[in-house]
Amino acid sequence: MLADIADIDINEFGPKLIEASTSIAGKSMDEIFKQDLKVFTFKDKKFCISQINTTDYRKFEDKFDFLPYLKKICKENNYDFAIVMITDVVLNGSELIFEGEKVDLVRRAFN
């Protein structure tokens, strides 16, 4: 309905909109990680989860080494663990990458 009002072709505009909203061009690892970051405390554990949406997971595989970054984040913020959830909106799936002193909790939670 909105596409008709705006006089645009949704099949042409939709993918461009998704691509623009998930672009990492010119962004540092810190900017990308903190874009959608949530910090939690549960019982005596402090941790963070960052979700990164992309249209091409390979962009992250080629560009970033997450484990050293997550280790640094844990140390700087006293997190027991840190998780980055990379969600490919085209493939409709997510991959979790995690690091920290208490990663055994993450492994058990996600089997």
Beta-bridge partner residues of 82 = 48, 99
101 backbone dihedrals φ, ψ, rounded to 5°? -65, -30
> What is the Cα–Cα distance from 24 to 29, expressed in whole angstroms?
9
- Give mean pLDDT, residues 62-88: 90
10 Å Cβ neighbour count for 1? Answer: 5
**Model confidence at 101: pLDDT above 80:** yes
- Give mean pLDDT, residues 91-106: 90
What's the confidence (pLDDT) of residue 61? 64
What is the identity of the amino acid at 23? S
Render pLDDT for 9-66 as a digit per residue (tens, 0 to 9): 888 887 777 777 777 778 888 998 999 999 999 999 999 999 998 887 777 666 678 8
